């Protein structure tokens, strides 16, 4: 599935928290393995390992687990958390398009033998399986998100910015701000205070990676031939610069 094909899913996807406990069949799992192999990184030089594990491989306080999880491991390198968000959000949209429920998992972790089996750092899990609740939202109004004016100062580009606004984030915090123009969108992350940083520091760069993927999907859908670049010296008060999306007509 191409990036542009994920556009419609952005407007109806949701995090699924109730799953049919039965595992997906082997054909479906093999297809998902292929999807994982085909994921595009944000940074080509960061080593990652993304694999499917079962509910028995996961430690969680949730009584009803998903039948499957995607476990993400990464080399610790500049931009590695952005890279994880960017790559795994591809799976979120791809699986949703296949009728499979997903949910990013901030607290659960793999059991110790799974973690020790990789030479990379464990980062995060994504639950997936057959949903035991409606897979899609019926209307955009069901999203709990900030209004556009709270996350951008770009005017008259509602279609692209609205789709970006719907990107998922930890606790729906939307820790980003978009600035620039129709030709170049600068993405900033919020600088949390000390106490908040203790809880969300890890998740903010993952959330930014998720947003960057959404922006790319939207831009490709609109025929903008997008390119993600990284600049220097663009930090602003209260925010930290993350990346720029160059748009070409």
Instruction: Say how far residue 99 (Cα) sits from the centre of its chain.
Output: 18
CATH superfamily, with its number, for domain 144-246? putative nitroreductase (tm1586), domain 2 (3.40.109.30)
Q: The tokens of 2 are what? A: 């191409």
- Model-level pTM? 0.94
CATH of 3-129, one of 3.40.720.10, 3.30.1360.20, 3.65.10.10, 3.40.109.10: 3.40.109.10
| Tokens describing residue 195 | 């106490």
Judge whether 127 and 66 are in contact, CB under 8 Å. yes
Strand, coil or helix: 178 = strand
Confidence class for position 63, pLDDT limits 50, 70, 90: low
Q: What's the confidence (pLDDT) of residue 234?
A: 87
The answer to whether residue 1 scores a pLDDT higher than 50 is no
CB of 101 within 8 A of CB of 93? no
* CA–CA distances in Å: residue 115 to residues 2, 220, 245: 31, 36, 34
CB burial readout 7-35, b (16+ within 10 A) else e: bebbebbbebeebeeeebeeebeeebeeb
95 — pLDDT class (breaks 50, 70, 90): very high
């Amino acid at each position: 599935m191409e990036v542009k094909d994920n556009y419609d899913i952005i407007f109806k996807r949701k995090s699924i928290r109730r799953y049919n406990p039965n595992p997906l069949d082997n054909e479906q799992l093999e297809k998902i393995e292929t999807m994982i192999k085909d994921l595009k990184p944000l940074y080509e030089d960061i080593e990652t390992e993304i694999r499917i594990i079962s509910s028995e491989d996961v430690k969680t306080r949730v009584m009803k687990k998903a039948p499957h999880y995607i476990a993400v491991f990464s080399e610790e390198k500049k931009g590695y958390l952005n890279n994880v968000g960017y790559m795994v959000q591809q799976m979120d949209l791809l699986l949703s398009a296949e009728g499979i429920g997903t949910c990013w998992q901030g607290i659960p972790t793999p059991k110790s033998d799974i973690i020790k089996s990789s030479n990379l750092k464990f980062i995060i899990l994504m639950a997936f399986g057959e949903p035991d609740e409606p897979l899609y939202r019926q209307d955009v109004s069901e999203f709990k998100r900030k209004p556009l004016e709270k996350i951008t100062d770009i005017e008259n580009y509602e279609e692209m910015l609205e789709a970006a606004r719907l990107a998922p984030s930890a606790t729906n915090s939307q820790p980003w701000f978009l600035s620039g123009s129709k030709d170049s969108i600068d993405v900033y992350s919020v600088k949390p205070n000390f106490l908040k940083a203790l809880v969300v520091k890890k998740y903010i760069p993952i959330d930014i990676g998720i947003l960057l993927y959404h922006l790319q999907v939207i831009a490709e859908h609109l025929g903008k031939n997008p390119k993600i670049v990284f600049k220097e010296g663009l930090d602003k008060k209260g925010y930290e610069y993350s990346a720029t999306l160059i748009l070409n007509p």
